[in-house]
Amino acid sequence: MPTQGSLEVPGARLYYEARGSGPVLMLIGHPMDSAPFAVIASLLAADHTVVTYDPRGFGRSTIDDPRQDANPDLIADDVHLVLNAVGNGPAHVFGSSGGAVTALALASRHPGSVRTIVAHEPPLAGFLPDREEAEKGMRDIYDTYRRDGIRAAWERFAAFTGMPIGPPSGEETPDAGAQARAVATSDRFFGCSLLPVVLYRPDVDGLRSSSVRVVIAAGAASRAEFPHRTARALAERLGTPLVEFPGGHVGFLSDPEEFASVLRRTLTAR
């Protein structure tokens, strides 16, 4: 069983878990809590101290201002504080989706906390050749949410990104609590997270010269989807190879054992 912890940070209280022993490896997502990492975290805990957490406003982490934007720099500061609480020196960090954007911000803002980041499909519109169209499409998703609500926003999101994705699990169940949590997750995603994440511009020059090893990754099964395209564009801008992982955008869920194996090899590669 993982060790559970809670950490007071400016404007929020963060829930986190740690399991295993060995070098610290933190797994971060956005907009999702730590639960989807449970299987792969257990696999990786055989040779790592694996840390997962719920970003502010998601899962078991509270937030003082529910309408606060999920600026990647702010979220990176939260991750830095969790790593400090866990201790054991600089960590490897795997970030998925918006969590990959958080990892890039962490490498720039707190390089002393990080040894390696693996940024898996960071959805950064600004690096695409059709940047203006991509940014316009994301703003249209936000406007759809504001005008027509969550369900219409998810439909627009899936159509624009090419991702087979919908409302978080629970929205279709009769469980009132699960429904409320699913709606809250979608509400915070579209209202406070979508645009701050996809419009974020990491410091490319700083990442190139950083002491932190930066790996950009994408799923083998998601080549036609928006986050794979953005990952490929960022890797080209950084001048690094794009590392392919099993599965699609959430390959750690669909192919956990193979995914964990590739992640281990990636962390130890030179």
Residues 92, 142 within the same domain: no
Residue of 174 and 187 predicted with greater confidence: 187
Residues 120, 216 within the same domain: yes
Residues 18, 124 within the same domain: yes
What Rg value do the Cα atoms of the chain yield, rounded?
17
pTM, rounded to two decimals: 0.95
Query: Domain residues for 22?
Result: 3-128+200-268
Dump pLDDT digits (tens) for 91-106.
999 999 999 999 999 9
**161, 195, 229: which is the final residue of a domain?**
195
Q: 118: which strand partners?
A: 94, 215
Residues 159, 216 within the same domain: no
Residues 173, 215 within the same domain: no
Backbone angles phi, psi at 165, to 5 degrees: -140, 150
Residue of 171 and 190 predicted with greater confidence: 190
Residues 121, 135 within the same domain: no
Angle at 120 between CA 21 and CA 198, to 5 degrees: 130
- Residues listed for the chain: 270
Dump pLDDT digits (tens) for 193-230.
999 999 999 999 999 999 999 999 999 999 999 999 99
Are 182 and 169 a contacting pair, CB within 8 Å? yes
Please tell me the total count of domains within the chain: 2
**172, 195, 218: which is the final residue of a domain?**
195
Q: The domain spanning residue 242 has which CATH number?
A: 3.40.50.1820
- pLDDT of residue 188 exceeding 60: yes
Query: Other CB atoms closer than 10 Å to residue 69's CB: what's the count?
Result: 14
Residues 18, 102 within the same domain: yes
Of 60, 65, 51, give the one whose Cα is nearest residue 18.
51
**195, 226, 250: which is the final residue of a domain?**
195
Dump pLDDT digits (tens) for 225-263.
999 999 999 999 999 999 999 999 999 999 999 999 999
Residues 14, 68 within the same domain: yes
Residues 190, 144 within the same domain: yes
The full DSSP string for 185-217 is HHHHIIIIIHHHHHT----HHHHHH-SSEEEEE
In sequence order, which residues have a C-beta less than 8 Å from that of residue 223 and are 6 or more positions away? none
Instruction: Read off the pLDDT of each residue in 53-62 and give the average, rounded to a whole number.
Output: 96
Dump pLDDT digits (tens) for 112-163.
999 999 999 999 999 999 999 999 999 999 999 999 999 999 999 999 999 9
pLDDT-derived band at 89 (thresholds 50, 70, 90) equals confident
Residues 96, 163 within the same domain: no
Residues 154, 43 within the same domain: no
Residues 29, 122 within the same domain: yes
